[in-house]
A = this chain, B = another copy of it.
Amino acid sequence: MKQITAVIRPQRMAPVRDALLRAGVHGMTLSEVTGFGRQGGSVEEYQGVQYKVDYVSKMRIEVVVTDSIVEEAVAAIKAAAQSGAIGDGKIWVTPVEEVHRIRTGERDDDALT
């Protein structure tokens, strides 16, 4: 099994979730994060002093999947999250050794269905 971590634009959250569900994923875990990167962040203004908010709001998706659908899931995220402008985000894949479903005690692939 693999963990796919994706950092995307918040406004793409809804389509990405739908795309992942279509790709056969049955669950995922989301968090609000803050990203640094090429994307410049916004210049805000407070009482006449400009200040650069060089961090931008992003959404982080963590999804553990069985090996066979990794590729499809990554492709689904990429397609749904892409706008083409700087700041679309990153996806990375890491190995997972065990998965447990707490409720039933099911393990590994069974825990992911």
Contact = CB atoms under 8 A, between A and B. Distances in A.
Interface of A: 1-3, 5-8, 17, 26-38, 55, 58, 60, 62, 64, 74, 77-78, 81-103, 105, 111
| From A74, A87, A90, residue with most partner B Cβ within 10 Å | A90
B37 A26 contact: yes
B99 A29 contact: no
A100 to B, nearest CB: 4
A91 B82 contact: no
B103 A84 contact: yes
B17 A29 contact: no
Contact of A77 (B30, B38, B101, B102): B102
Given A2-B97, A28-B36, A95-B95, 9 more contacts: A3-B94, A29-B33, A31-B31, A31-B34, A74-B100, A88-B101, A90-B99, A91-B102, A93-B98
A91 B99 contact: yes
Nearest to A100: B91
8 contacts: A2-B97, A29-B58, A31-B32, A64-B90, A82-B102, A86-B103, A88-B103, A92-B100
